[in-house]
Amino acid sequence: MFSRKIRIAILVALTACAAAPAILEAQTKRATSTRRRARRPSRNRPPAVPVVRYGTPRTSADLAATLGGLAGRIRGGVWGAMVVSLTRGDTLYANNAGEQMLPASTMKLLTSAIAFERFGPTYQFSTDALRDAPVGPDGTLTGNLYIRGDGDPALSGKFLPGGPSAPMNRLADLVASNGIKHVTGSVIGDASAFDDQKVPEGWLARYLQASYAARVSALSLNENVVVVAVTPSAPGSPATVVLEPSTSAIPLVANVRTVAGGGARLSFRKQGNGTIVANGSIGSRTSTRRYVYIVEDPASFATGAFLNALIARGVKVDGGIRLGKTPPTGVKVASLRSPPLASMIAAMNRESINHYAELLFRDAARGPQRDAVGSVANASAVLDSFFASKVGVDTGSLVFKDGSGLSTIDRVTPRAQVQLLGYAHRAPWGPWLHSSLPVAGDSELLKRRMRNTPAEGNLHAKTGTTNDVIALAGYVTAVNGEVLAFSFLYNGRDRWTAKAMIDVMSETLADFGR
């Protein structure tokens, strides 16, 4: 039952009956072009949800009643939740806490935990260039040059200045500075650190041409998307059409002319052999237009970008590119190290980047000794072992088919998530996980949520959103200083109501005191 104060607040709020538009999780719903968003402006428009004000419970029983009443407003679907005081060690609220549920992007909490547990927050991955033969006095490598992937999710322009080509440019600079001027063999891409599964089980076919569902590879570049950039020149002249990053692995045919004025009439198609064909016209006063494509073969894409970067630096390569495994006798020429793991996990959780989660999930299977293949099966076994031996969770109800939560086969329970949060709170790496999470009313995917409430600037949590899931799991500090861990999971179609009620529940936790 609601307290008298809460009942009055709800009645007052219902008379207003105003609703703020809900924002879908950016990574899970990001379109591949602005034109696609413009075609379907109403699909993500939320229905009206009556405004309900958060409560101010002052006993644990009052808190449980308030949260239960709010959950009762959600129509249909499956609702699961758990709230535990990490300060006192007691359970404050539980509803279907052992229910198997789709986690959506709250799965990234689990991926974060095993990555931190296996590597520590300062760990760095290394993308290496190696040779299989000596280099002569004139700079000729009479053999092959390898680029060996280490599962670095941040091999992009996100952490390096210079745009999408920056990582391969940097690595090519290092190779050239080590005296290699001519490669008589090939540039060979090595993605053998992971298995060959590029699309996780349970990813729906409709996801697969969206940037949030990019292919998975140990040798990945620019989150495995390529941009076709069209820039006008003088009227009557061909426009400049390039790939960002530049790569020899994807043929590009440009039939775009520059016309007077503004605007653009452009069309693109991808042929069966991977060739991208650009047709149409662009106005001379128009800024560069960019269109995103998913890369089907990430390792070849990255290897081709490395080749182009070498050629741009005057390194001659006779044999082109191919894929293969680096021989054990390979000699390291140069290395490009990733940012610290904590920085990558912060980007992953704040922006909900699925690509980062998929690579880190498989990296955790390999471990710092790199003594196992990065696969979903191996990563799932590592996560099972972690939950059973460290967190103390019965793993019988947990199913892991990817690291991002995009798979429709993944299953977690609210109880397992809260127990994980409790373990993380005590772990040496706990502060890094805590700081990686979006902050209510302040940052990234929670920036527009829970503003002007006790949760603003207080609650740190990971969001989860798909067509059938609304979720939030993380930490909040109550008014009396207790640190609370919570998991709110909803699977069903009434997700706009669920999202609104989850926010009110979270605000109520922030204003709880006893």
**Which pTM does this prediction carry?**
0.90
pLDDT value, residue 272:
86
Nearest of 514, 512, 513, 509 to residue 450 by alpha carbon: 509
Model confidence band, residue 13 (pLDDT cutoffs 50, 70, 90): very low
Go through 27-59 and write b for each residue having 16 or more CB atoms within 10 A of its CB, e for each that does not. bbbbebeeeeeeeeeeeeebeebebbbbbbbbe
Instruction: Locate 218 and state its tokens.
Output: 């140990």
Note the residue count of the chain.
514
pLDDT score, position 44: 58
Residue 19 or 111, more confident? 111
Give CA–CA dist 174/333, Å, rounded. Answer: 8
- State the residue for tokens 């969001």: 463
For residue 47, the model assigns a pLDDT of 74
State what percent of residues in the chain have pLDDT above 90: 89
Rg (Cα) of the chain, in Å, rounded?
25
Between CA 273 and CA 422 the distance in angstroms is 50
Express each pLDDT in 42-52 by its tens digit. Answer: 455 677 777 89
| Secondary structure of residue 62 in the 3-state scheme | helix
Q: What CATH class does 126-337 carry?
A: alpha beta
Instruction: Please give the pLDDT value at position 9.
Output: 38
Encode pLDDT of 28-65 as tens digits. Answer: 333 333 333 333 334 556 777 778 999 999 999 999 99
Instruction: Cis check for the bond before 57: say yes or no (omega within 30 of 0).
Output: no
Angle between helices 341-351 and 107-119 (to 10 degrees): 180
Residues 455-487 have pLDDT tens digits of: 999 999 999 999 999 999 999 999 999 999 999
Mean pLDDT of the chain: 91
pLDDT exceeds 90 at position 292: yes
Which of 30, 71, 58 has the alpha carbon at shortest distance from 505? 71
What fold, for 4-120+341-510? Beta-lactamase (3.40.710)
pLDDT digit string (tens) for 367-411? Answer: 999 999 999 999 999 999 999 999 999 999 999 999 999 999 999
- Strands 145-148 vs 126-131: parallel, antiparallel or unpaired: antiparallel
User: For the segment 112-162, what is each residue's pLDDT rounded down to a tens digit?
Assistant: 999 999 999 999 999 999 999 999 999 999 999 999 999 999 999 999 999
pLDDT tens digits for 174-221? Answer: 999 999 999 999 999 999 999 999 999 999 999 999 999 999 999 999
Exposure b/e, 403-437, CB count within 10 A at least 16 = b: bbbbbbebbbbbbbbbbbbbbbbebebbebbeebb
Token look-up 């293969």 returns: 324
pLDDT value at position 48?
75
**Per-residue pLDDT reduced to its tens digit, 236-248:** 999 999 999 999 9
User: Rounded CA gap, 385 and 223, in Å?
Assistant: 29
Of 159, 179, 214, whose CA–CA distance to 336 is shortest?
159
Domain boundaries, the chain: 4-120+341-510, 126-337
| Per-residue confidence (pLDDT) for residue 24, from 0 to 100 | 34
